[in-house]
Amino acid sequence: MTSSTESPAESPAATPAESTTDSPSAADGRRASEVTREAARRRTFAVISHPDAGKSTLTEALALHAQVITEAGAVHGKAGRRSTVSDWMEMEKARGISITSAALQFAYGEHVINLVDTPGHSDFSEDTYRVLSAVDAAVMLIDAAKGLEPQTLKLFRVCKARGIPVITVINKWDRPGLDALTLLEEIENQIELQPTPLTWPVGIAGDFRGVLERRTGEYIAYTRTAGGATRAPEERMGADAAAAREGEAWTAAVEEAELLSSDGSDHDQELFLSGFTTPVLFASAISNFGVAALLETLVELAPSPPAFGWGEEDETGRHLQVREVAAPFSAFVFKVQAGMDTNHRDRVAFARVCSGVFERGMVATHAQTGRPFATKYAQALFGRERAVLDQAYPGDIIGLVNANALTVGDTIFLDEPVSFPPIATFAPEHFAVASSKDAGRFKQFRRGMEQLDSEGVVQVLRSDLRGNQMPVLAAVGPMQFEVAEARMESEFGAPIRLERLSYTQARRTDAASAPALEAIRGLEVLSRADGTLMVLAPDAWRISVVERDHPDLVLETLLAGGR
């Protein structure tokens, strides 16, 4: 990867307002206008997909088209594969999959793009869930040959529950795949969103020549570049020139586009923002075809940062508590990550700015403790690369370095108190006892366990019976254990041994019920770092039997909730 000479943090930065001698009220009004203006420039979104749909490749292509990198990081073909900007962990490079979310910020025209690449593998869906609490829109990537897949459906349902508008990209159109109309029908039937294509492919899947831009009727022809490493040239032409060049392929595309219009499948901005429709684009991220159209669509159609609402709703469904973007600064932490800088072994809290302007060095209030929180070490993020950040506005993602007091779901604010709801954790389904392979490195073992727990890589459960030397790791998917093993050895110098347990179910209980539950054969009660008592059981049948025989004991389902 070759970075542009401009720092990722410098290009989107806004010029601070000039000092004046206005009255305090006038100064406040000017600052509010500045914040509102800057928020309107922001587009903060996540890319979601099933594994291998091309999500990280698309992320790379977007950065390439925005001219913040000069060459795509993926050299296609197994022999010389390079990692993408957003895949920086050693396991990601080795396996070619995303296992942790990454934030990239860059300027595109007059706008600032905050793109959050998410893990595609279902074992890391909890990380993706947290990311979706921090974005205003989502790009749903679908493999043209496979259509909608289970992980895509699961993540879309999270978007729907959160009211996040979705833009759909049919990827890999340069390879053989399903018919375009069949894919649209699948989207409408399985996720109950009406597709409203903005572009329509000229040429069947596997013969991607370009797209018909439905709004203008123009043809955008693509020219391949070597390995898709550089931006694919585009040539625009009118209908007559397109017909002369593409013949029957153009005629078929025009007829199908007209059929879509007769069926009411034209874009309506209000319906899109309300979650009833999804604009659709056809692309080949690996060849950089259709990527510029996606950037333009995000800038034009995706919402800018809204006011954050929470708590109870009135009879119209509106939140009774709202933090407007021009209100004093507030932000919430949606991710904690250590090990990004191997030279310093630091810890970064990823925070989404919700309101006001962030200024490095400000002293905010940590809502969960009520204590002051200094922001001296703040950075802009571009994958693994970081640069000092002086200011940030609603929608921006900031990295707070060595903010050890912050955990996932925490809120920081200025002036007017606010505490956004915590981001709930998923119910784990896989469990293993961890122990240090080297008894002399217990201090490193304990520190590593605490770090992985605070990041949410795994949940670390303890009990008096097992002691601190043998905590139980709880995970949504088994690959989380592999990440924990690799990081404990590489980052903390404390190789671990894992012994898998036969439990598959976890429930929440209370202190009054815990002794009786612990006495039941096959159950085990452990505590989480936040004080939550969890009951582990081998299967759902055992849980149902206990609930039937002991209706007085507390056994609550662990649900994914959140903002």
User: Within a domain: residue 422?
Assistant: no
Query: Is residue 115 located within the same domain as residue 87?
Result: yes
Query: Is residue 65 located within the same domain as residue 204?
Result: yes
- pLDDT value at residue 85: 44
68: its two tokens: 């913040």
pLDDT band at residue 113 using 50, 70 and 90 as cut-offs: very high
The tens digit of pLDDT for each residue in 139-168 reads 999 999 999 888 788 778 888 888 899 999
- pLDDT value at residue 87: 42
| HEC readout, 137-157 | EEEEEEECCCECCHHHHHHHH
Calculate mean pLDDT across residues 428-450.
92
Is the model's pLDDT at 13 over the cut of 80? no
User: Within a domain: residue 3?
Assistant: no
Q: Which residues make beta-bridge pairs with 235?
A: 221
Between the ranges 66-75, 115-124, 540-549, where is the mean pLDDT highest? Answer: 540-549
- pLDDT value at residue 116: 84
- Please give the mean pLDDT across all residues of the chain: 84
- pLDDT value at residue 517: 96
Lowest mean pLDDT among 62-76, 411-425, 518-532, 537-551: 62-76
Query: Is residue 95 located within the same domain as residue 243?
Result: yes
Is the model's pLDDT at 16 over the cut of 90? no
Q: How many residues does the chain have?
A: 563
Query: Is residue 290 located within the same domain as residue 328?
Result: no
Q: Looking up tokens 């989480």, which residue turns up?
A: 528
Residue 493 DSSP one-character state? S
- Provide the 3-class DSSP secondary structure of residue 360: coil
Total of domains in the chain: 3
Calculate mean pLDDT across residues 338-347.
64
Percentage of the chain exceeding pLDDT 90: 53
Domain boundary among 250, 270, 301: 301
Query: Is residue 281 located within the same domain as residue 326?
Result: no
Is the model's pLDDT at 559 over the cut of 60? no
Torsion of CA 497, 503, 508, 513, to 10 degrees: -100
d(CA 409, CA 260): 43
- pLDDT value at residue 383: 62
More confident site: 102 or 373: 373
Query: Is residue 397 located within the same domain as residue 435?
Result: no
- pLDDT value at residue 542: 95
- Provide the 3-class DSSP secondary structure of residue 427: coil
Calculate mean pLDDT across residues 108-122.
81
The CATH number that applies at residue 549 is: 3.30.70.3280
d(CA 362, CA 367): 15
What element of type H or E holds 494?
none
Calculate mean pLDDT across residues 378-399.
85
Is the model's pLDDT at 254 over the cut of 60? yes
User: Within a domain: residue 316?
Assistant: no
The CATH number that applies at residue 227 is: 3.40.50.300
The tens digit of pLDDT for each residue in 282-337 reads 999 888 899 999 999 999 999 999 998 776 666 666 666 889 999 999 999 998 88
On whether the CB atoms of residues 298 and 113 are closer than 8 A, the answer is yes
d(CA 98, CA 51): 8
Annotated binding residue at 477?
Answer: no
Is the model's pLDDT at 199 over the cut of 60? yes
Query: Is residue 483 located within the same domain as residue 548?
Result: yes
Is the model's pLDDT at 227 over the cut of 80? no
Is the model's pLDDT at 388 over the cut of 90? no
Percentage of the chain exceeding pLDDT 70: 83
Query: Is residue 450 located within the same domain as residue 341?
Result: no
Domain coverage including residue 146: 24-301
Query: Is residue 96 located within the same domain as residue 52?
Result: yes
User: Within a domain: residue 1?
Assistant: no
Query: Is residue 119 located within the same domain as residue 223?
Result: yes
Calculate mean pLDDT across residues 183-194.
93
Query: Is residue 120 located within the same domain as residue 170?
Result: yes
More confident site: 35 or 72: 35
User: Within a domain: residue 434?
Assistant: yes
Is the model's pLDDT at 22 over the cut of 80? no
User: Within a domain: residue 239?
Assistant: yes
Is the model's pLDDT at 11 over the cut of 50? no
pLDDT band at residue 386 using 50, 70 and 90 as cut-offs: confident
pLDDT band at residue 421 using 50, 70 and 90 as cut-offs: confident
Neighbours of 345 (CB within 10 A): 13
User: Which residue, 502, 508, 498, 513, is CA-closest to 537?
Assistant: 502
The CATH number that applies at residue 330 is: 2.40.30.10
Query: Is residue 77 located within the same domain as residue 183?
Result: yes
Is the model's pLDDT at 2 over the cut of 70? no
- pLDDT value at residue 273: 95
d(CA 234, CA 293): 11
Domain boundary among 272, 301, 330: 301
The tens digit of pLDDT for each residue in 54-96 reads 887 888 888 887 766 555 443 333 333 344 444 444 544 444 4
- pLDDT value at residue 23: 66
Domain boundary among 270, 301, 332: 301
Is the model's pLDDT at 479 over the cut of 80? yes
User: Within a domain: residue 536?
Assistant: yes
User: Within a domain: residue 7?
Assistant: no
Annotated binding residue at 117?
Answer: yes
Backbone angles phi, psi at 412, to 5 degrees: -125, 150
Is the model's pLDDT at 132 over the cut of 80? yes
Annotated binding residue at 562?
Answer: no
- pLDDT value at residue 196: 97
Is the model's pLDDT at 522 over the cut of 90? yes
pLDDT band at residue 218 using 50, 70 and 90 as cut-offs: very high
- pLDDT value at residue 437: 94
Between the ranges 14-28, 214-228, 461-475, where is the mean pLDDT highest? Answer: 461-475
Backbone angles phi, psi at 4, to 5 degrees: -70, 160
d(CA 371, CA 410): 12
